A and B are shown apart, each in its own frame.
Chain A
Amino acid sequence: MTSSTLTRGETRTSRLPAGDARSHGRRGARPRQSLVAWIFLVPTLIVVGLFTVVPGLFALAFSFTDIGLRDIRDPLQVEVVGTENFTALLANPDFLRSIGNTVLFVVIGVPLTIGIGLALAILLGSGIRRLRPVFRAAIYLPVIANIVAASVIWKYALTYEGPVNEALAAIGVAGPNWLGDPAWGVTSVILLTVWRNVGTAMVLFLAGLQAVPEEVYEAAAIDGAGPWRRIVHMTLPLLRPTTLLVTVLITVMYMNIFEEPYLLTGGGPLDSTRSISLWVYQQFGYGNIAASMAGSFVLILLVAVVSVVQFRMLRPKH
């Protein structure tokens, strides 16, 4: 990745939406191009329509019905039950527990992932020059690792008498029962998730750093600012747009957290790692389709609200 492509992308994206709309209005649509455009978009519209738009509307509509396992093949048999599913949901201790668990994942996992990703990006972006690509590759590797494979490995690594605790014992630490104790189960799921996502955060921050002109740093260095002050007073403020983006992306990821608890702990021990997504998935497995759909509707709503709030709080002040 060269810095020039990134810089180009960065400025372009920040200007695009508004500029696009305006140039549109001025030039207007050209009839011949319009027809061709829609023809070119047919495959996209089919896929997006069938697997995002229609399912999205279904999810919304069927949340208000008594849809069951049999209705999946014949959805016209359902009956409308109003907001019954949602009132049941809010009275369901398991669902409420899953919200609490998810909040815990978000509150601990998001700052950890972003903090470590940012620290690594600053380290690789400025302090470390030799072997930089090797370090970057090592940190990025977990991002592309298949989650099923990764979970199998972690499950093995974290067994009570397994390799991790063996290594801890070698340095005189008594390893915990990672996957058997509720608090450590939560810790294990968070560690796996951080391990998988830190590379994404780092790469995004590195891209943001490359958009900062080198001269800014040189000027600060001439002014006698030490590395720590430069990070706090220059790098972090300049990274504000990137931080907003990374925060929203990573928060959405943690709010939707599914594969890690599903594959590593199965939601246990004692339901301590059952996230909202996992609850939704398990309800589908039990045949409680209506509850499952209502649950996912609540999740989408929560994700949307949190994203909007984050955008408002973190967007640049004028």
Chain B
Amino acid sequence: MRTSRLGSALLYLLITVVCVAMLIPFVLVFFGAFKTQGEFTANPGAWLPESFGNFANFATLFERGFGQYFLNGVIVSALVVAGNLVFSSLAGYTLAKLHFRGRGFVFALVLATMMVPIVAIFVPQFMVAVQLGLVDTLFGIALPMLVLPIAVFVVRQFAHSIPEDLMEAARLDGAGELRIFGQIFLPLLAPALATVSVLTFLASWNAFIWPLVMAQSQSTYTLPVGLAVAAQANRTTEFGVLLAGAVVVLLPVLVLFLFLQKYFVQGIAATGLK
């Protein structure tokens, strides 16, 4: 679209203002994490900390068990990513490439999982977890996320672009279905699997309501749960410690985003284009 030079300058000004506004919270959290409680009390409106060398807030986090929460989050995310790489790949492949009665029904079920808000069904979900004896375990937190609909969609979408002839040829050669999946389909799926890893890591790392309901003791808290509990527990609001906690939660995702941006965006597009 051709626009005048002045118009173009105005557009750039506008988009820059919008972007700066969007980024303000990220700036504030990194500034605030280095402030002492005294600084918050003395000058609550100041943006910059007196020193960026003050790591006391992070030390406090560790004393309060955030190291454990971090580790728990890593374990849950590892389980979820691994589960989806195997199970969602299988499901996505099956729903795209195998012919069987009930395919549409299964796909609708997976879709429904995406549409029903967790707030609406977490109580009965919790009842199921109770019956399975999974309450207050990391595996129980990970289990409902082991097959995420978004991962199934990404694989299914990608599988459609792989020609069926390849598999038919292998079938004629007498290859078993598992072999066709593992040796022909999986290697071709590599780019989609990168997207699946990134998306499922993001979903599990950021998961909040389910872990909040399932984690009954600090030994199974994940970072968002630990941070939310800390935020609600203290009446005096120690912003320094809380903001340092926010940094710890955000940092892995931000670093990942910096390097793997295209996979994040691809994932959102896949949700939209289902």
Does A200 sit within 8 A of B, measured CB to CB?
yes
**Residue A245 interfacial (CB < 8 Å):** yes
Q: Which of B133-165 contact A (CB under 8 A)?
A: 143-144, 146-147, 152, 157, 160-161
Q: Which residues of B contact A51 (CB under 8 A)?
A: 113, 125, 128, 143-144
Give A268 Cβ to nearest chain B Cβ, in Å. Answer: 13
Measured between beta carbons, the chain A residues less than 8 angstroms from B264 are: 140, 144
Is B3 in contact with chain A by the CB < 8 A criterion?
yes
Residues 85-118 of chain B, each 1 if its beta carbon lies under 8 Å from chain A, else 0: 0111011011000111101101001101101110
B113/A48 in contact, CB under 8 A: yes
Contact A137 B261 (CB under 8 A): yes
Taking CB atoms and an 8 Å cut-off, the chain B residues in 213-264 that contact chain A are 223-224, 227-228, 231, 237, 239, 242-243, 245-247, 249-250, 253-254, 257, 261-262, 264
Contact present for B109 and A37 (CB under 8 Å): no
Number of interface residues of A (CB under 8 A): 114
B24 interface contact, C-beta 8 A: yes
Indicate if the CB atoms of B117 and A256 lie closer than 8 Å.
yes
Contact assessment for B123 and A30 in the assembled complex, using a CB-CB cutoff below 8 Å? no
CB distance from B271 to the nearest CB of A (A): 8
Best-buried of B86, B98, B132, B245 by chain A (most CB within 10 Å) = B98
A18-36 interface code vs B (CB 8 A; 1 in, 0 out): 0011001001111011101
Contact A30 B19 (CB under 8 A): no
Nearest residue, chain B, Cβ from A45:
B106
From 32 to 49 in chain A, residues with beta carbon under 8 angstroms from any chain B beta carbon are 32-34, 36-38, 40-41, 43-45, 47-48
Contacting residues, chain B, for A87 (C-beta < 8 A) = none
CB-defined contacts of B206 to chain A, threshold 8 Å: 144, 146-147
Which of A93-101, A106-114, A158-166, A182-190 participates in binding chain B? A158-166
Q: A51-B125, A144-B202, A259-B208 are contacts. A21–B109 as well, Cβ < 8 Å?
A: no
Which of B47, B128, B147 meets A48, CB within 8 Å? B147
Q: Which residue of the partner chain, among A28, A72, A134, A163, contacts B47 with CB atoms under 8 Å? A: A163
In chain A, residues 49-75, which have Cβ atoms closer than 8 Å to a Cβ of chain B?
A: 50-56, 58-59, 62, 72-73, 75
Question: Which residues of B are found within 8 Å of A139, using beta-carbon distances?
Answer: 18-19, 22
**How many interface residues does B have (CB within 8 Å)?**
102
Q: Which residues of B contact A128 (CB under 8 A)?
A: 11-12, 15
A289 CB–B CB distance under 8 Å: yes
Q: Is B170 an interface residue (CB 8 A)?
A: no
Q: Write the nearest CB–CB distance from B23 to chain A, whole angstroms.
A: 6
Does the CB pair A140–B246 fall under 8 Å?
A: no
- Main DSSP-derived SS at the B contact region: helix
Binary per-residue interface labels of chain A (208-232) against chain B in the complex, 1 for a CB within 8 Å, 0 otherwise: 0000000001000100000100100
Contacts of A16 in B (CB 8 A): 160
**B12–A153 CB distance below 8 A:** no
- In the complex, the answer to whether B262 meets A1 with C-beta atoms within 8 Å is yes
Rounded to whole Å, the gap between the CB of A13 and the closest CB of chain B is 5
Shortest CB distance B257–A (Å): 6
Judged by a CB distance under 8 angstroms, whether B71 is at the interface is: no
Q: Do A152 and B243 have beta carbons less than 8 Å apart?
A: yes
Residue of B nearest to A27 (CB): B99
Taking A53-B109, A138-B23, A166-B45 as given, write out 19 further A-B residue pairs in contact, using a Cβ cutoff of 8 Å, ordered by the A residue number. A27-B99, A33-B99, A41-B106, A43-B83, A43-B147, A47-B143, A50-B143, A55-B128, A130-B12, A135-B19, A144-B253, A149-B245, A149-B247, A155-B231, A157-B24, A167-B47, A217-B1, A259-B208, A284-B122
Instruction: Report A's interface with B, CB cutoff 8 A.
Output: 1, 5-6, 8-10, 12-13, 16-17, 20-21, 24, 27-30, 32-34, 36-38, 40-41, 43-45, 47-48, 50-56, 58-59, 62, 72-73, 75, 120, 123-124, 126-128, 130, 133-157, 159, 161-163, 165-167, 169, 195, 198, 200, 203-204, 207, 217, 221, 227, 230, 242, 245-246, 249, 252, 256, 258-259, 263, 277, 280-281, 284, 289, 292-293, 296-297, 299-300, 303
21 pairs across A/B with beta carbons < 8 Å? A20-B104, A33-B98, A33-B177, A41-B94, A45-B109, A47-B143, A47-B147, A56-B116, A56-B121, A72-B127, A120-B15, A123-B14, A139-B18, A144-B264, A146-B206, A153-B243, A154-B25, A156-B32, A157-B24, A293-B123, A303-B117
Q: For the complex of A and B, list the 5 residue pairs with the smallest distance between their C-beta atoms, beginning with the closest.
A: A166-B45, A58-B124, A55-B124, A149-B246, A138-B19
